[in-house]
Chains A and B, each alone.
Chain A
Amino acid sequence: MLTNSLSRRNFVSLSMGGLAGLGIAPALAAAVKQQAANSAAKNVLVIFEQGGVSHTDTWDPKPNANPVHRSPFKTIDTNVPGMQFTELLSRTAKLADKISVVRCMRQPKPNIGNSHPLGSQYLFSGADPTGPVEIPDIGSVVSHEKGTAAPHLPAYVFEGSGEQSKMTRLGFLSASHKAYQIRHGKVSGLKLEGITKDRLHGRRKLLANLNIGLTGAARPEVRAMESFAAQAEDMLTNPKTLAAFDVESEPDHIKKLYHPDEDNRRHRGNMYMLGRKLIESGVRFVTINTQWPSNGKLWPGGGNMNWDHHDAIYSKGNTNIKGGGAGAGRFGIGTWPMMPSTDWAFSGLIADMDQRGLLDECLVCFVTEFGRTPKVNEREGRDHWVHAFSFAFAGAGVPGGQIVGQTDSDGAYVTSPTAYTIEDYGATVFTKLGIDVNEPIYTPEDRPIFLSKGGRPINELFS
């Protein structure tokens, strides 16, 4: 393939220097053009499963691993010959032809491998969070670079019921690009409270008659505020705003794609569906960082159900064991609040987005901070593992039915020639959106900041 034969250095030179003036070979020009055409994303949906999802139990099955450490979940075929997952992804396996799984992710940064907060921030920004300048989230940069496509909605929406949601960062960008955070899909601030739509319009009319003491005519700062007020009024009264968040209004046959019918089994599916609705409504960048809500009656002992399975990862219930600790409060990876609900929701998301044509222009990313140890520890858990783990991608020109990279028979280390980093993931997202990571953006002090510094787009995701 042309793109593959084109070394990255050459590609960068070409795209930056401009094609016309260089008189370069037509073949090269065509290749560059092709990659540009693959930068097809208009918006991005990130599913962030926080805590470190065990890759060997999900996307990267290891049927020949040492039996002591091997995952108890069977390796199954998908609808793409040669592409295998574990049975925890049996629904997704039927849609494997729509997704690329990158099995050669690495995150070997000192200090970050053991920190969920920093690891999460690393993913949100696609850049090392320990540098001298606070780097904004990818979503905030996208809002800054691309603006909103739907003025009645924020450009960057962050479903933040997950534990590390506080790690989103605005960095040096202006407040308009901040992540709009919601929890459990509940809209705050965008729903009119204690006042009807008509009364708000009435108040605004009265205001127009009284707003004469200091006019915006010659004062740009006043004019800016007036235009934000008009936009706010539209957001608060436009029925489309709330409709974008209203998962309940979806028809039953759609809901079934995401989750079973029982009330208490819907959460994750609902959040993934919310992601699709927001994308469909024109939000530029959506992050779903959710975890199963704790409920002492239904999920006794599940106080913090993220993926940090240090203890009893294969428990049929909670992971609270004697001598454990760091991994307490979770539920076993095979229980409903973990992988089964995720498999159902993710497969539903891909199917639904596909049937609506949303995959044409939306990049869907399934990500986590790192993987988990290929060895089971003495507490039947798996600890953090930064040397190999898996991400999945779909849409916006990402080829379907593709496995990128390879790990050894235990899932411990990458054995393929290339491995990818969190910066590479960031560069992929930016490049898909047509944002050039080789051009810096500038802080208010004029310091150049390179987006996902040092990252290279994951070549195989640009077919």
Chain B
Amino acid sequence: MRFPILFILISLTSAVSVAAAEKPLKRLDVTPKTVSLSGPRGGVQLLVSGIHANGHARDLTRDCQFKVTGPARIENGYVVPTGNGSGSIVVSIGSMRQTIPFKVERFDRPLPISFRWEALAVLTKQGCNSGSCHGKPNGRGSLELSLNAFDPRLDERSLIRGAFVRFTHPVEPAESLLLKKPTLRVPHGGGKRLRKDRESYAILKQWIAEGCRPEQRDGPQCVKVEVTPNDGRVIRLGPASENQAADAAQQQVRVTAHFSDGSIRDVTRIATFSVSNDSVATVDANGLVTGLDRGQTAVVVRYLDDIVSVYLTVVRDISGFVWVKPAENGYVDQLVHAKLRQLQYLPSGNCDDATFIRRLSLDVRGLLPSMEETEEFLADKKTDKRRRLIDRFLDSREFARFWGLRLADLLRINRETLSEERAADYSRWVFETVEQNMRYDQFVRELLTATGKTADVQAANFFRTTNETKMVAETVAQLFMGSRLKCAQCHNHPYESWTQDNYYQIASVFHGIDRKQLEVPKGAKKRKPNQREVGMFIGMTAGRGMSNPRTGVPQKPWPIDVERKPNQDRRTAFVEWLTAPNNPFFSRVAVNRIWAHLLGRGLVEPIDDFRSSNPAVNVELLDALAADFQKSGFDRKHIMRVILNSRTYQRSSDTNQFNETDENLLSHARVRLLTAEQLQDAVFRLCDGPQRFAEFEHELAAADKLLATTLKENQEDQDAAAVVKSKQQRDAARARLNSYYMTQQPYPQLTSFLSAFGQPPRKTACACERREEANLDQALQLMNSGLIRDRVGRAADRFGKLPNEQFIRELYLAAVSRRPSDAERKTISDYLKAGADRGKAFEDVIWAIINTNEFMFQH
């Protein structure tokens, strides 16, 4: 897995308008500089780049002329030998030229096909072993292959000996089913996959003719796959015409494989290519990328189970676009603006104060701002008022509770697996770590290395909600490494570099976790705790490595290159590796989660699916945030502060002519439905008024205090009636508070209202459990649920006594944090006057406000 280094593109564009014509060519750049070909099937892809005076590089592989002297021929820049000897290739365009010497050896020597590195590569390239064809478990028809050839020995068995040896026919290779099916000489469910005149057919045929030789067990291994050009290459499209189609521009990609015997092979023609964003560019089977529209994409290159991605940017001049430098506040804005400028989107302006306080309050505290807070903020004339509001909200208890809820989601805190008591204690610990702003590396260390009784060491409950080794490994990988490792349990991950061995190496770290059920204490207690309440003892035994079931080889715990003493807790070295500054995942995944919570979408999306084939929309920004996070001592609040104070966060959701088509480059704010808990709380807060919650808080504080006093007074008899009674009072007060705001409690009950709006059931560690898309059930809930009906009734109590004018003003301040417009005032007061039943008319108005987009959506 790889991440490109920080690469700022501002330097590429110097003028105010990027619409300047290309400068003349300055020089040619050809890769490689010399070509050496070995054996009859050698071939090398040349890359020809023209470097312009302004530094722009442009692919000329298809545009230049090649003149070959010597035993080779060339087509589309791909050099193929025709005999032994040496010669040269002259590359020219206009008056520029460069000469590339080449030599060919062993052309006349037989070179048997490598089953693994050639035949299986061909099958992978043709899609034969993909997850929807023969690569699915049990294969298709009678041919079963391993997914993307991750298990060559299985493939060997299937192809050579499978189906009563019908697939291959060495005496008459062309009659092999392996060739007849994909060429449709006999019917084939997968359609036409091979053409007789292609090299891929020739490779398979030769392999069969050579007697279907299996791979030598100790033959050379592929150790590295290299792709040229590197990240950051820009494809420049010609200007768009009326009907929008811009002149296509292309980029050839070249792939080389490095083997353990030191040999390097050009595998461009047998590697597999795809793009992550096919509206931006496409790629053909020979690695030729064609830019279609401005944007960014990864070109994903697969050679067997090695995956390497390069990130390309496609730009196009937008007519009339002029970059006007917007105000910036720190590196977030600089990096966002660099990207917008390069891709020619103009950011929207700053959002107004009313929008800001509502947005900030929902994102940071989960709750709508109160009417008083809003009025005070709107009236504040000082220029630093947004910064101060950010600090105030970040320091509130509501913030810690709301972000505690989000962590509790991912940690799957629930009453069923844990008991009520254990869930409460565990989530209180989570809340405290947020409130104290514990260093994130420390939080993760405490969580993952927790040892002790779950009643005493709260973090140890992590190993109860994840109750077996594989589940721990998958959860840790998803939460802290942003990897959906689960796929690698049964086969190498299809889209990234994690192998099945890696899966069991990570699992081996947690293989020795001992979960000892503690005994319910004997004695004459009036109320005995049950087994779940007593909890477990979480310990670590020396443990053995977990075996990969495919190979039966026990795996060393990850990281595998660290020496561990036999009795050492394996988790320590793992956490050290995880939280080390150079860990490519930890900080990036953490800041990406914060970013997604605040901006509504991760820089990497899905937020827990980090892999080279799924690039961040702004790689430089993600890197910079991660670096800042490390420098700050893994300070989550610091990163939030940086983001919240940026212009990027504070942008309006209104679009302009030059950014209305932008979906993810952050040129305008993203409109999104309130989350389930936010929406229910918004309805409660609007209809009941904000003071209700404060009353519950006071009640709980008083009950806590009373309990403490009675406990002190009855030290010798903890079961005294007074203690029992004040405990009951405390529990009742806690229950009242807890059942009120959903954003303010760690494990809200699952209700039909909340689940319609995407409340996660906490069965997995996947952030995707929280569903975000609109659906019919939501509309039905808003229109016809008991919850809305009840609250609307109460709201009429809250507002009903106010005179019309004041009612309308307060309603808008409370619901959408702004004053009503004249039109809105008139509509509502007309409606109130027209209605015969004033109480009902009030309800109608409140219902209507709850159902406005402005209320339901974060904007």
Partner of A13, one of B189, B489, B840: B189
At the interface, yes or no: A20 with Cβ under 8 Å from chain B?
no
Residues 207-227 of A at the B interface (beta carbon under 8 Å) = 207, 209-216, 218-219, 221-222, 224-226
At the interface, yes or no: B93 with Cβ under 8 Å from chain A?
no
At the interface, yes or no: B528 with Cβ under 8 Å from chain A?
no
Pull 25 A–B residue pairs with CB atoms less than 8 Å apart, ordered by A: A16-B190, A17-B191, A18-B191, A132-B490, A175-B777, A189-B784, A193-B784, A193-B789, A195-B784, A199-B844, A200-B783, A206-B831, A206-B844, A206-B845, A210-B827, A210-B852, A221-B672, A224-B774, A225-B774, A226-B853, A228-B778, A233-B783, A235-B780, A445-B484, A447-B487
At the interface, yes or no: A256 with Cβ under 8 Å from chain B?
no
A222 near B853: Cβ-Cβ < 8 Å: yes
Interface residues of A (CB under 8 A from B): 9-10, 12-14, 16-18, 22, 24, 132, 154, 174-176, 178, 189-190, 192-195, 199-200, 202-203, 206-207, 209-216, 218-219, 221-222, 224-226, 228-229, 231-233, 235-236, 438-440, 444-448, 450, 454
Give 8 new A-B contacts, CB below 8 A, not counting A22-B184, A207-B851, A228-B778: A132-B489, A189-B780, A193-B786, A226-B853, A229-B782, A229-B783, A233-B783, A447-B131
Residues of A close to B191: CB separation below 8 A: 16-18
CB distance from A201 to the nearest CB of B (A): 11
CB distance from B353 to the nearest CB of A (A): 15
B777 near A22: Cβ-Cβ < 8 Å: no
Q: A9-B141, A189-B785 are in contact. Are A132 and B486 (CB under 8 A)?
A: yes
Residues of A close to B845: CB separation below 8 A: 206
CB distance from A281 to the nearest CB of B (A): 17
CB distance from A215 to the nearest CB of B (A): 7
A236 near B784: Cβ-Cβ < 8 Å: yes
Residues of A close to B775: CB separation below 8 A: 174-176, 228
Q: Which of chain B's residues has its CB closest to A133's CB?
A: B486
Q: A203-B848, A235-B780 are in contact. Are A438 and B136 (CB under 8 A)?
A: no
Q: A193-B786, A206-B844 are in contact. Are A228 and B671 (CB under 8 A)?
A: no
Partner of A232, one of B189, B190, B609, B776: B776
At the interface, yes or no: B805 with Cβ under 8 Å from chain A?
no
Residues 107-140 of B at the A interface (beta carbon under 8 Å) = 131-132, 136, 138
CB distance from B474 to the nearest CB of A (A): 10
CB distance from A183 to the nearest CB of B (A): 13
Q: A176-B776, A211-B853, A218-B660 are in contact. Are A438 and B847 (CB under 8 A)?
A: no
A29, B619: Cα distance in complex, Å: 53
A444 near B768: Cβ-Cβ < 8 Å: yes
At the interface, yes or no: B673 with Cβ under 8 Å from chain A?
yes
B609 near A236: Cβ-Cβ < 8 Å: no
At the interface, yes or no: B773 with Cβ under 8 Å from chain A?
yes
CB distance from B494 to the nearest CB of A (A): 8
A229, B132: Cα distance in complex, Å: 37
A225 near B844: Cβ-Cβ < 8 Å: no
Residues of A close to B853: CB separation below 8 A: 211, 213-216, 222, 225-226
A219 near B848: Cβ-Cβ < 8 Å: no
Q: Which of chain A's residues has its CB closest to B190's CB?
A: A16
A229, B187: Cα distance in complex, Å: 49
At the interface, yes or no: B857 with Cβ under 8 Å from chain A?
yes
Q: Which of chain A's residues has its CB closest to B660's CB?
A: A218
Q: A189-B780, A213-B853, A236-B783 are in contact. Are A207 and B848 (CB under 8 A)?
A: yes
Partner of B774, one of A9, A189, A221, A236: A221
Q: Which of chain B's residues has its CB closest to A170's CB?
A: B771
Interface residues of B (CB under 8 A from A): 131-132, 136, 138, 141, 184, 187-191, 484, 486-487, 489-490, 494-495, 606, 609, 653, 655, 660, 671-673, 756, 758, 768, 771, 773-786, 789, 816, 823-824, 827-828, 831, 840, 844-845, 847-849, 851-854, 856-857, 859
A228 near B776: Cβ-Cβ < 8 Å: yes
B780 near A174: Cβ-Cβ < 8 Å: no
A231 near B136: Cβ-Cβ < 8 Å: no
The 6 A-B residue pairs with the shortest CB-CB distance, nearest first, are: A213-B854, A232-B779, A13-B187, A228-B779, A175-B775, A448-B132
B777 near A207: Cβ-Cβ < 8 Å: no
CB distance from A144 to the nearest CB of B (A): 12
Q: Which of chain B's residues has its CB closest to A207's CB?
A: B848
Partner of B671, one of A9, A209, A221: A221
Residues of B close to A450: CB separation below 8 A: 136
B187 near A236: Cβ-Cβ < 8 Å: no
A188, B371: Cα distance in complex, Å: 36
A229 near B784: Cβ-Cβ < 8 Å: no
Q: A214-B852, A229-B783, A447-B487 are in contact. Are A178 and B777 (CB under 8 A)?
A: yes
A194 near B789: Cβ-Cβ < 8 Å: yes
CB distance from A292 to the nearest CB of B (A): 26
A202, B484: Cα distance in complex, Å: 49
Q: Which of chain A's residues has its CB closest to B845's CB?
A: A206
Partner of A214, one of B484, B671, B774: B671
Residues of A close to B857: CB separation below 8 A: 214, 221-222, 225
CB distance from A23 to the nearest CB of B (A): 10
Partner of A206, one of B671, B827, B856: B827
CB distance from B693 to the nearest CB of A (A): 26
A199, B784: Cα distance in complex, Å: 12
B780 near A236: Cβ-Cβ < 8 Å: yes
Partner of A448, one of B136, B486, B828, B856: B136
